Chain A
């Protein structure tokens, strides 16, 4: 069975601090996708990144970076120089099923960035 664990329930930082959100996953599939989504207070789910199981290259997009390590089954997300607008709930998710469309979500991490 698939499982995603986001051990950090809530994180509070001051603006301009760097913050890392942890994600650990379990799956028996050899091919799968990992995702990060952001859910701001307005409620919509905003796609941030998708990574397939064969691509362990780290990725950077502006202030966001992701570290994928299959050896530790982790897919961590770092925000550099955080801003108040980064305050949201962040979800890590793992695909399952032959279509890779079914997602198992972690419990989410509430990030609050204080000015």
Chain B
């Protein structure tokens, strides 16, 4: 399985600011995804990070709020823009090494917005 790291592991931010979360994988992967886990809730898919092109967003999530980049096959970033307390969540990236392979998750970034 791929080894996935995320930075930062946690952060406390002020309302109205933006935070960029990095996801780094130790090997090339086919698919990368970003999920959100609100406090005490399940995981919800935000978007698929596409290498070299715009991300594909799920219903309820928009690029202006959650811009995503994926410049290569091992790295992606998720920005949470103009944050509000409702954005306080754990943000997780996940990867698949092949189209029909298992999906593995990074350790998550725990974000608190004051």
A residues in contact (CB < 8 Å) with B: 35, 37, 43-45, 47, 50, 91, 93, 99-108
Contacts and interface: CB of A to CB of B under 8 A. Distances in A.
A107 B107 CA distance: 19
Contacts of A107: 41-42
A105 B42 contact: yes
Nearest to B92: A45
Given A47-B105, A91-B42, A103-B43, 15 more contacts: A37-B105, A43-B90, A45-B105, A47-B102, A47-B103, A91-B43, A100-B100, A101-B33, A101-B103, A102-B58, A103-B45, A104-B45, A105-B42, A106-B42, A108-B42
- Taking residues whose C-beta sits less than 8 angstroms from the other chain, chain B's interface range is 20 to 34
Interface of B: 1, 31, 33, 35, 41-45, 48, 58, 90, 92, 94, 96, 99-100, 102-105, 107-108, 110
A91 B41 CA distance: 11
Given A43-B108, A45-B92, A91-B43, A99 B99 contact: yes
A43 B103 contact: no
Q: List 3 A-B pairs, minimum CB-CB distance, nearest first.
A: A45-B105, A105-B42, A101-B31
A101 B99 CA distance: 7
5 contacts: A35-B102, A43-B108, A47-B1, A99-B48, A102-B48
B42 A103 contact: no
